[in-house]
Every structure is written in structure tokens, then in C-alpha cells.
């Protein structure tokens, strides 16, 4: 039985996108397959879940692929981790279906 994987995207306005991308990748590197550099990151998790991050000078762009039944939960997990790293600034997460 295959799961329906949903693609979602989110653009978070911040001049610190590269910092948050690297923090999230380093944070999850002990649990998941992670590859990253200052501009791009990819976190591969079990159960068909993948987070891809791209940092620009103005934003952190997030792409989430996850099974339909876990998409909302995964969005919340990604949001809460990044918000914790960005405690000095107020970030807005506006997820969109892709």
C-alpha cells in the first residue's frame, strides 16, 4: 500500500535564512540523513518525509514532502524548530500546497 505524498512550500522572510538552515540541518544530522551547505540543505527522514531548504539574502524557502496524514504535523515540527532558533525575531510561516 503506497501513501499519497503531499508537497508543501513555505517562504519565511528573514535575513538569517542561511543560519537557520544550517542549525536545523546540524540539529537533525544525528537522527536523519542530512546534506547541506550555507545555501541549500536536504533532510531525508523515514516514511517518505523530506525537507529541502534554500537560503536567500531575504528568506528561507522550505519545501516539505510528506505523506498526507503527516503533513500538518511535519509543518508544525519544522516551524517550531526554526522558530526556536530564531527566538530574536518574529517569523511568519505561510505554508502553501505546491
CA–CA gap between residue 77 and residue 75 (Å, rounded): 6
| DSSP H stretches of helix in 1-98 | 17-28, 71-85
**Residue 98's pLDDT band (boundaries 50, 70, 90)?**
confident
**This model's pTM is above 0.75:** yes
pLDDT tens for each residue of 20-64: 999 999 999 999 999 999 999 999 999 999 999 999 999 999 999
Helices 17-28 + 71-85 axis angle, to 10: 110
Amino acid at each position: 500500500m503506497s501513501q499519497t505524498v503531499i508537497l508543501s512550500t513555505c517562504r519565511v522572510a528573514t535575513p538569517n535564512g542561511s543560519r537557520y538552515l544550517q542549525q536545523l540541518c546540524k540539529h537533525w544530522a544525528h537522527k536523519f540523513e542530512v546534506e547541506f551547505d550555507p545555501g541549500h540543505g536536504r533532510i531525508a527522514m523515514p516514511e517518505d518525509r523530506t525537507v529541502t531548504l534554500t537560503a536567500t539574502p531575504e528568506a528561507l524557502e522550505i519545501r516539505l514532502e510528506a505523506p498526507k496524514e503527516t503533513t500538518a504535523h511535519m509543518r508544525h515540527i519544522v516551524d517550531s524548530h526554526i522558530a526556536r532558533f530564531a527566538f530574536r525575531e518574529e517569523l511568519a510561516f505561510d505554508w502553501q500546497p505546491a
